[in-house]
Chains A and B, each alone.
Chain A
Amino acid sequence: MSELLWTYVGIPLLKILVILLALVLLAAYLSWFERKLLAYMQIRLGPNRVGPRGWLQPIADALKLFVKEDLTPGFGEKFVFLLGPVLIIVPALLVFSVIPFGPSPNLFITDVNIGVLFVLAVSSIGVYGIILGGWASNNKFSLMGGLRSAAQLISYEVPMGFSVVTVLVMAESLSLVRIVEAQREAGVWFIFPGFVAFFIYFVCGIAETNRNPFDLPEAESELVAGYHTEYSGMKFAFYFLAEYANMVVVSSMATVMFLGGWLRPFPNVAALNFLDVVPPLGWFLLKVAFFLFVYIWFRGTFPRYRFDQLMGLGWKVLLPVSLVNLLVVAYFVALPRGQV
């Protein structure tokens, strides 16, 4: 009995704890990385006072947010106001229960046979945190931010879904572990046959995480700070944490679906065996780090879209392109099997 308890309760709980702690630390240090990188891109120094080269800055920020006064706008929507941060942080962290960081079962919490759908479904709940937080703040700018976010998420979820379907057509499975295995068997990362899908997925991923150039829900020049204008202290920290955790989610999913997850480059070419000195987990983290860098690079480079341009891009460009791309990929998957 105690052995059963250990296998089914103890070890999963331990894994969850490790991943949760690593994730929260990663999100905190991602903010440091972002500030530093943006500073270098703009020929500044960035945070460099707290600890050597500013290494302790995220810790200081976290401490500040912990002890900061927690204000609630007083008009009687306290429960919904509290629900906002909860509904955004829970899905953002929950998604990591199915993301495979490596091949051995010890490197992911669980592998469910509807993995991709699980990720899409759970992360679609996160928008409630934004829209409800914006509404419960009783503030025009917050409400505008929340509504913009809702419209944006719904519009970009559609082309994102179609680009994910092209991966499913190639991998013939919804399980994330199985998708990586399929890329090893095919001997090629899905980014090469599915380049258009990859492009659409990443653009939509940036839009879904409300990052620049699609950060209209919190456009500071028009909406103060958008949906989290009225939030302070730890509630604000949850919004902040969720944004960075969602960036990691989109990067991890892009890695798993298009860059071969934990696989090294060209996994079937024996001449490149020396690349195995980097463990699978290392490859995974490297690829995720690359995507996170691209996120911040975009923020340092692109100006923000106007809202009608954003909607036009989503519905008139990305959606038709993703549909046509799906048809083309499905045709070429079915062709060698004589199913056309």
Chain B
Amino acid sequence: MQFLVTHFAQAVFMLLALFCLGGAVGVVLFRQPVHAALSLLASFLGVAGLFVLAQGEFLAAVQVLVYAGGVMVLFLFVIMFVNVRTVGKEVQYLRPLVPAAVVGALLFSALALTALWALSRRPLQDPSPLAMVEGAMVGNTEAVGWVLYRDYLLPFEVVSVLLLVAMVGAIVLGRKPKEGERP
């Protein structure tokens, strides 16, 4: 019993991590696109759980609201609109597998190195920076607000402009050509 109490957070972390990784693996392995999308949803929810565990409750709520509630619904929407029920039965090719494996390995090692670097910088047990502003505990929501709109205002605005550009581009590409206009 005592063991369970002291290692509760760790046990939950393991479970959630398993959930995330299992979901991510499922996205690649399922042949039916709807199943892959559901698998990705499971992974997103697992990430939200990890945020809660790290006391980043605002991030967790936004993760669910934006990714699970918005982005994934649009994914499913598109998948169902183009009626991909037959994709699972199509022949798949193995030739691009070698370059894909090389790129995947590179990306994975970059990720692992980043994790190791982060591990050396700060003890994982201390999640307080996620809820602190100038040494005062204010909760995760305010902390995120301060970091986003004061410390990293310029990158934040740049990202906003980038998204705007992407949106305008999508509208231009998806627009029907006018009468007599070359497409």
**For chain A residues 88-131, which have a beta carbon within 8 Å of chain B?**
112-114, 117-118, 120-122, 124-125, 127-128, 131
Give the distance in Å from the alpha carbon of A114 to the alpha carbon of B68 in the complex: 17
The answer to whether A112 touches B77 (Cβ under 8 A) is: no
Proximity string of chain A (53-96) to chain B, C-beta cutoff 8 Å, 1 when within and 0 when not: 00000000000000000000000000010010000000000000
Other A-B pairs beyond A80-B38, A117-B61, A143-B80, 17, CB < 8 Å: A112-B57, A114-B57, A114-B140, A117-B62, A121-B61, A121-B64, A124-B68, A127-B73, A128-B76, A131-B73, A131-B76, A135-B80, A147-B77, A150-B73, A154-B70, A157-B70, A174-B141
27 residue pairs of the A-B complex, CB under 8 angstroms, read A80-B35, A114-B140, A114-B141, A117-B58, A117-B62, A117-B65, A118-B61, A120-B61, A121-B61, A121-B62, A121-B64, A124-B70, A124-B73, A128-B73, A131-B73, A131-B77, A132-B38, A135-B34, A135-B80, A143-B80, A147-B77, A150-B73, A150-B76, A151-B77, A153-B73, A154-B70, A154-B73
Q: Write out the residue numbers on chain A whose beta carbons fall within 8 Å of the beta carbon of B140.
A: 114
The answer to whether B65 touches A128 (Cβ under 8 A) is: no
Interface set of A (CB-CB < 8 Å, partner B): 80, 83, 112-114, 117-118, 120-122, 124-125, 127-128, 131-132, 135, 143, 146-147, 150-151, 153-154, 157, 174
Tell me the smallest distance from the CB of A104 to a CB of chain B, in Å.
23
- Interface majority SS (helix, strand, loop, mixed), chain B: helix
Give the distance in Å from the alpha carbon of A156 to the alpha carbon of B23 in the complex: 29
Proximity string of chain B (50-85) to chain A, C-beta cutoff 8 Å, 1 when within and 0 when not: 000000011001101100111001101100110000
Chain A CB within 8 A of B41 CB: yes
Closest to A158 in B: B70
Chain A CB within 8 A of B26 CB: no
Chain A CB within 8 A of B22 CB: no
The answer to whether A125 touches B57 (Cβ under 8 A) is: no
- Name which of A113, A114, A120, A154 has the most chain B CB atoms within 10 A of its CB: A114
The answer to whether B70 touches A125 (Cβ under 8 A) is: no
Tell me the smallest distance from the CB of B81 to a CB of chain A, in Å.
7
Q: How large is the interface on B (under 10, 10 to 19, 20 to 34, 35 or more residues)?
A: 20 to 34
Q: Write out the residue numbers on chain B whose beta carbons fall within 8 Å of the beta carbon of A174.
A: 141
Chain A CB within 8 A of B129 CB: no
Closest to B71 in A: A154
Q: Write out the residue numbers on chain B whose beta carbons fall within 8 Å of the beta carbon of A113.
A: 57, 139, 141
Q: Write out the residue numbers on chain A whose beta carbons fall within 8 Å of the beta carbon of B141.
A: 113-114, 174
The answer to whether A127 touches B69 (Cβ under 8 A) is: yes
Tell me the smallest distance from the CB of A339 to a CB of chain B, in Å.
14
Give the distance in Å from the alpha carbon of A80 to the alpha carbon of B76 in the complex: 13
Tell me the smallest distance from the CB of A192 to a CB of chain B, in Å.
26
Partner of B65 from A121, A135, A150, A151 at Cβ < 8 Å:
A121
Give the distance in Å from the alpha carbon of A127 to the alpha carbon of B76 in the complex: 11
Q: Write out the residue numbers on chain B whose beta carbons fall within 8 Å of the beta carbon of A112.
A: 57
Q: Write out the residue numbers on chain A whose beta carbons fall within 8 Å of the beta carbon of B80.
A: 131, 135, 143, 146-147
Tell me the smallest distance from the CB of B174 to a CB of chain A, in Å.
16
